[in-house]
Each structure stands twice: as structure tokens, then as C-alpha cells.
Amino acid sequence: MTQLPFSEKVGYAVGDAAANLVWRGALAYLAVFYTDTFGITAAATAMLFLVVRLSDGVTDIIMGMIADRTKSRWGKFRPWILFSAPVLGLFMVLCFSTPDLSENGKLAYAYFTYIGLTLAYTINNVPYSALMGVMTSSDNERTSLSGFRFAGAFVGGLLVMGFLPKLVAYFGQGNDAVGYQTTMYVFAAILVFLLVITFVSTKERVTVSASDSQGLSQELKDLAKNLPMIVLPLLAMSLFFYYRDIISGLFFITVMVIMRFVIKRFIQTPTEKLSSTQRDMVDLLTNKPWLILLALGFLTMMFNGVKYGVIAYYFKYYVGDELMAGQYFIALLVVSILGALCTHYFAQRWGKPQLFIVALLASALFTISFYWLNSDNITAIFILGCCAEFFAAMMPTLFFTMLGDCADYSEWKNKRRATGLIYSAGTFVQKTGGGFSGALVLIVLAAYGYNGMDQNTIAAALPGMKLLMSWIPAIFAIISAALLLIYPLSNEKNQQIGKELAQRRSDTEII
């Protein structure tokens, strides 16, 4: 099993620093940019976030399939990281631009640029995430690499969330629209530079025998036939999430019952009657650890996404100091780097599932405490926020490490490996959770009457901001901890699977 050099771990880490110039920036500031600078209503922005996540459910899986079947002298995944970089930077700038349009024109522009941003992020980040699964076959090294990755992610987030308000003020000189756009030009240039470093400094080492693929075009046709299994549940969930009435509730229940029946029949279809694409889907749908992680990734992203999504509003209106949000982000992200780097140490001693449960419950407890904080108790806000974030930083680190374990488990169980497809689920649920969490923030604020262009609505919305900083995200963490109690892959089981796979690959090479 390959011991990765320190330089390669750092090289891989800067790729997520680049991605989080987009991800953390969009997650933390795009909502407040749309409502307070671009002039889109909170309700319309919430629907925008939900609609875009429907497209992600399809594009992430397609990108995972394409990456798995890519053949080049640079490997399966690295070429996508390189060639998507300038497109990602371009849409990052376009998303934070403010053309002079009508109300409907602004909404159409927001849809176009936000969909473009998420699509470019998919093309870049699905292969980037999957790359970790083929850099080494060592479970221990993947945990270490994941720690480096998310330390890099938090550094990228630090640049955006810590310095964006000051850069907007500096470049805009009172004009936030100009300030946002100019700042994004700077971040886009940094993003492309960092992704080139990742491409140059990493290697793909884990290879498996070629699958009986029918060719990508045929397999995409097969996928299209099965799209209702992906799109309909997401559509039903989105409608119920947004409207929260009897009709949307009945539609959601009906769709889930039908999908359960359809998926059960699909899984029971004889293997010889399935295409390669369909067999990949069956492998995933019968992979219990992966299914648990799929739910876990969504819930933990809701937890972190709601917390981060309300911070800009919380400091601007509840604390009364908009620029202090940048200082708070800096404090959180410095602690996040420490939490990510400590994950490997604690996971070795306690086990990944056990550490995950501890991190969820501890972070939830500190988050709930925000409900009783007064707006002038700045010291307590920073201390509790940093304590919660130390444990929250372990969640994505553990999640993506455990996705690698699920890829090993799938290969061990089915003698087939679809690393890109498995990791695409990770980016999919993160983006879906990010979209739903951003929408939830806006839905709660809208329910309290918030209108970013009308200062008279702010006072009534302050209780909603307190709930969004405390009880609402904590509920998702508590549910996640309960879900982990049935996760079946212990450290010992992963080590056994790793040894057996190494022996299989060795035997294949000898033959």
C-alpha cells in the first residue's frame, strides 16, 4: 500500500482550497448578495437554490460515469481538474455580477449563472473527489489525505469568508456591486493557479481491470431511462420543502412509495439482463454503507450549511456589525484547519464511525447554546462558535474518507469498482445539502417577514436568525448521530477488506 509523500498531500489539498473559493463563497455570501445587492426576493432565491439542486442530482452522476470511463495519459480524473478550471473561474465572476436588468431579467440571469457555476463545479469537483480514491489503496493514508484535503478546503474558505467583506468594501468604495465583481476576479485567478498545482503534483496509482462497458453513449442512454429514480424523489422533496402543504406532502409520499417499489424490482432483476450502467446502479443501491453515507452527507451538509448560511445575516442584523462576520469566519476557519488535521489522529484511536458520532453531538451541543446568547456577548459568540466548528470540521473529512471505504467495499463485494460514481454521490449530497440549507435559511427568514431591501422588516426577523444559528442546524446533527449507529464498516472491517483487495490485485497482475 502506497505511502504518499507530504508534497503530494499538500498538492492535493490546494485543489480543495481552490474549490472552496467557490463553494464557501457561494454558500456563505451568495444568498445575501442576491437579496441585499442584486435585489432578488428571499422567496425567489430559495426556489432558485432548490431548482438548481435538481439539476445536480443528474449531472453529478453523469460526471461520475464519464470520469470512471475516461482514458488519457494523465489518468481518469486529473485531466478534468485541469480543463474545467478556467470555466469554473469564469462562472464564479458571472454569479457575482449585477447587470442592469428588470426583475424577471435578474432572476433569469441568476438561474443561468448559478446553474453554470454548479455545472462547472461538478465537472471539476467530482473527479477531484474521486482522485483521492485512486491515489492510494491504504485506508490509513486516505484518512490522512482527507485531513490534508479539508485543511486546504478551510484555507480556501478562509480567503473568501474572512476577507471578502473587506475586499468588497475596498474595491467597491461604497458600491457593493462593483466590489463583489472585482473581488471575484481576484479569487478566480487564484483558483486557476491552485488547480494547476493539483494537476501537476498528484498521481493516480490504483487501477482495476476494465469493466464490460458498452461505451459511454450507450450507457448514458441507459442512465436516461432510469432518471426518474433520481429526479422524481428530488422534485417531490423540493416541492414539499418549499410549499409545506397537504398537496406537496401527498405528492412526496406517493412518489416515495412508488420509487420504493420500482427500485426493489430493479434490484431483483437478473444480472445478465442488466447493462453495465444498470449494474453500477444496482451495486450502489445494494451498498448499505454507501446508502447510509448518502443520507449522512445530506444531513451534515444541512447542519453546516444552515450555520454558515445565516452568519452574514446574523452579524449584520442581530449583532449589528457586518464586518465582524469576516473576523468570525476567520476564527472558525483557523479552528477548522486544526480540527481537520486532528481527525486522522482521533480516527486511528477511536474508529471513524465513533469519532463521527462524538463530533456530531459535541458540535450540536455548542450550537444549541447560541439560542441563549445576547447580541452584545461577542466573546461567548466567538468561543462557542469555535468550539462547535472544531468538531464540525471533522465531519466532511470523515465523510469523504468513508466514501473511499465504500468504494473498497463495493469492489470487494461485487468485484467491480466505480470510484467516480461513488464519489459523485459525495459531491452531489454536499451540493444538494448546500442548496437545501441555503433555501431553508431563506424560507425561515421569509416566514418571519424578512425583506433585504426594506429595513422595517429586520426586527421581526431577528428571532428566526437566532433559531437558524442554534436549534435548527443542531436537529440535523442529532439525527446524523443516530443514523451512524447502524453504519457497518468498522476500522477492523476496512483493514480486512483492504488486505483482501490487495491480494486480488496482486493475483491479477501475476496472471
Tens of pLDDT along 263-286? Answer: 777 777 776 676 666 677 777 777
Is a pLDDT exceeding 80 seen at residue 305?
yes
Question: What number of H helices and E strands is found in the chain?
Answer: 22, 0
Does pLDDT of 212 surpass 70?
no
Query: 281 in the Ramachandran plot: left (φ > 0), alpha (ψ -120 to 50) or beta?
Result: alpha
Residue type (1 letter), 117: L
* Average pLDDT value over all residues in the chain: 81
389-395: average pLDDT: 91
pLDDT at 511 over 50: no
Cα 163 to Cα 183, 223, 371, 504: the distances in Å are 10, 42, 27, 50
pTM tops 0.75: no
Predicted pLDDT of residue 103:
85
**Nearest C-alpha neighbor of 431 from the set 17, 19, 4:** 19
**Identity at 404, one-letter amino acid code:** G
Whether pLDDT at 41 is above 90: no
Provide DSSP, 232-282: HHHHHHHHHHHH-SHHHHHHHHHHHHHHHHHHHHHHTS-GGGS-HHHHHHH
Determine how many CB atoms are found less than 10 A away from the CB of residue 275. Answer: 17
**pLDDT value at position 351?**
84
Per-residue pLDDT, averaged over 15-42, amounts to: 80
Q: Which pLDDT does position 276 carry in this prediction?
A: 66
Predicted confidence (pLDDT) per residue in 411-424, tens digit: 777 676 666 667 66
In whole angstroms, how far apart are CA 479 and each of 8, 139, 250, 462?
36, 27, 24, 26
Summarize pLDDT for 213-266 with one digit per residue, the tens: 555 566 566 666 666 666 677 777 777 777 777 888 888 888 888 877 877 777
Contacts for 239 with CB less than 8 Å, ≥ 6 apart: 248, 251, 252
Could you tell me the pLDDT band of residue 210, with boundaries at 50, 70 and 90? very low
User: What is the predicted pLDDT for the residue at 390?
Assistant: 93
pLDDT at 417: 62
The winner for highest mean pLDDT among 48-57, 64-73, 91-100, 336-345 is 91-100
